Structure 1
Amino acid sequence: MLKIGEVTEWLIRIISRTETLLAPRSSSCLVCGGRRASGTIRLPVCRRCYELIPWIHAVRCDRCGRHVECPDCPRRKSTYFTQNRSVVRYDEHMKEWLALYKYRGKESLARVLGPMLLHAYHLHHKGKARSDAAEWITYVPLSAQRYAERGFNQAEQMARELGRLTGIPVISLLTRARHTDKQSFKARADRLDDMAGVFVPDLSQIAPIASACRKGRVRLYLVDDVYTTGSTFNECARTIRTILPVHVYGVSWAR
């Protein structure tokens, strides 16, 4: 027959084991569920997943941040953003990561993709003297229809992760005037036509940035998940600059 002390120890072990099973697996890779890497890897992923990341370290096009020859920027008649920098090349592995996040509802991946944006943020400052400009972060908005389908805006979640890590305030500056079909299925000319006039400024949010603009230079970081031809970034930047004299810098996860 068990003594009171032995029973108490047994109950403590059972409770501890139950709490362990019910608690989040903080040591698990948020992409594949494997054992998370330790040491120098700061993302919540395993070493195998980390080694799949095709980081962009050098760019060929200073405007859009593409790592290979760019056919799009020379053909654009008007560019309203200063430059874009992206984190990764959009290869098959990264397409799968983004699909898990956007279309299969794995929102925990915001804690992976969002912090990765720090890489693009630092690329904007690479080899340049630190600016004393005031900084804000905003993001590409979803239509009401797309938000209802998905339940969240991945660009907003990623922007808020970047803001949390940099201490830069995040603000909503745009809404969508109309719904558009997925841009990835369209030719370049169709993208340009489809994006014209799709965004409108959210005037309720501009007061702090407008005040900062009167005092000096303002850098606005515009976050989106994928930069393809730049039509979305360019239309967002054009819309923002109709109401605010800011310099718009794209921060995209994939290119």
Structure 2
Amino acid sequence: MFSYISHISEHVQRLTGQLHKLLGPPGSPCLTCGTRAVLSSRYPGICSRCVQQIPWIRSIRCQRCGRGVGCPDCVRPHMQNRSFFCNRSAVQYNDLMKDWISMYKFRGYERYAPLLTAMLTQAFQAMSEELTLICEKETGKPLWRPDAVTYVPVSDERLAERGFNQAERLATELAITAGLPCVDLLQRQINTGKQSFKSRAERFETMKHAFSIKLDEFDFSLLKNYSKPFKLLLIDDIYTTGSTLDACGHVILHAASKAGVTVEIYTLTLARS
């Protein structure tokens, strides 16, 4: 008798679930808000309402760091010698983006990867169009395009903790989409800890000796016969003060200079605070 009742109960549950699917809203659960809806084809995993909430940086106020609002940073004297030509970012780092990035970066929700990659790819396309217009005006060249992509490394401790480097994954997927080589160029020599808890001055001081070149991975001397400056796109997830990207860039420029080659560094991040 008990077995028969249990069988009936399971059957009713299956029918209820099927009925809920038939009568409920069409589509699949949104990755970010959980609403069942027809999901976006352009931004994987999210509904149209969440797409509308993405805080894109559409109007750039600072041409150097790519900030969408007033920027007091780039006019500071010690900022005039930055290692990168310019930075661009996909979105403002508001509470919503902090949540999305944290879900992927700290909690390991892999389903966020295609969404964040799509957002970064859109920012790369906008960056390419913007810099192409500049190239046409200044040099007459018809197209701006990086020659390779690289990324900000994490420490061994962070890698063991998270199981992956989010900047590396973003860079790798972007490189595949854009048809560019992705170079494992840098290594982090020291664990600098969480930068979000540090002041501006502490960030810059911490980053001075944080990175070095992986000499066994890339030989800059191979670029000696390159007919133009080698354009390198450096990827990270979040731009706050720019100290991390700047430190990485100076290490790259120093190695390139020793090899007698010219490198131009451009940076691209998912979010800009």
Q: Name the TM-score class by shorter chain.
A: 0.7 to 0.9
Aligned length: 230
Q: Please say if 1:90 is aligned against 2:93.
A: yes
Question: Judging changes above 3 Å, is the alpha-carbon distance between structure 1 residues 210 and 112 closer, same or farther for their aligned structure 2 residues?
Answer: farther
Distance in 1, matches of 2:146 and 2:114, equals 26
Q: What is aligned with 1:215?
A: 226
Q: Please say if 1:202 is aligned against 2:219.
A: no
Instruction: Determine if contact 2:116/2:270 at 8 Å carries over to the other structure.
Output: yes
Instruction: Determine if contact 1:54/1:88 at 8 Å carries over to the other structure.
Output: yes
Question: Judging changes above 3 Å, is the alpha-carbon distance between structure 1 residues 87 and 132 closer, same or farther for their aligned structure 2 residues?
Answer: closer
Instruction: Determine if contact 1:63/1:83 at 8 Å carries over to the other structure.
Output: yes
Q: What is aligned with 1:188?
A: 200
Aligned identity (percent) is 41
Q: Please say if 1:100 is aligned against 2:100.
A: no
Q: What amino acid is the match of 2:213? A: P
- Across the aligned residues of Structure 1 and Structure 2, the Cα RMSD in angstroms comes to 2.2
Q: What SS does structure 1 have at the residue aligned with 2:150?
A: strand
Q: What SS does structure 2 have at the residue aligned with 1:69?
A: coil
Instruction: Give the drift of 1:33.
Output: 4.5
Distance in 2, matches of 1:150 and 1:121, equals 26
Instruction: Determine if contact 2:238/2:271 at 8 Å carries over to the other structure.
Output: yes
Distance in 2, matches of 1:35 and 1:45, equals 10
Instruction: Give the drift of 1:235.
Output: 0.3
Which consecutive unaligned segments of at least 5 residues does structure 1 have? Answer: 1-16, 18-25
Q: What is aligned with 1:151?
A: 163
Distance in 2, matches of 1:203 and 1:29, equals 44
Instruction: Determine if contact 2:30/2:39 at 8 Å carries over to the other structure.
Output: no
Q: What amino acid is the match of 2:88? A: R
Q: What SS does structure 2 have at the residue aligned with 1:104?
A: coil
Instruction: Determine if contact 2:150/2:233 at 8 Å carries over to the other structure.
Output: yes
Q: What amino acid is the match of 2:32? A: V
Moved more, 101-110 or 31-40: 31-40
Instruction: Determine if contact 2:150/2:232 at 8 Å carries over to the other structure.
Output: yes
Instruction: Give the drift of 1:40.
Output: 6.0
Q: What amino acid is the match of 1:215? A: Y
1:233 counterpart (221, 225, 245): 245
Q: What is aligned with 1:55?
A: 56
Q: Please, what TM-score do these two structures have when normalized by structure 1?
A: 0.83
Distance in 1, matches of 2:40 and 2:50, equals 15
Q: What SS does structure 1 have at the residue aligned with 2:216?
A: helix
Distance in 2, matches of 1:133 and 1:214, equals 19
Q: 1:217-241, CA deviations, whole angstroms, 9 ceiling, x for partnerless residues?
A: 2211111010001000100000011
Q: 1:120-159, CA deviations, whole angstroms, 9 ceiling, x for partnerless residues?
A: 2123223413436651110000000111111110001111
Moved more, 134-143 or 72-81: 72-81
Q: What amino acid is the match of 1:73? A: C
Distance in 1, matches of 2:144 and 2:69, equals 31
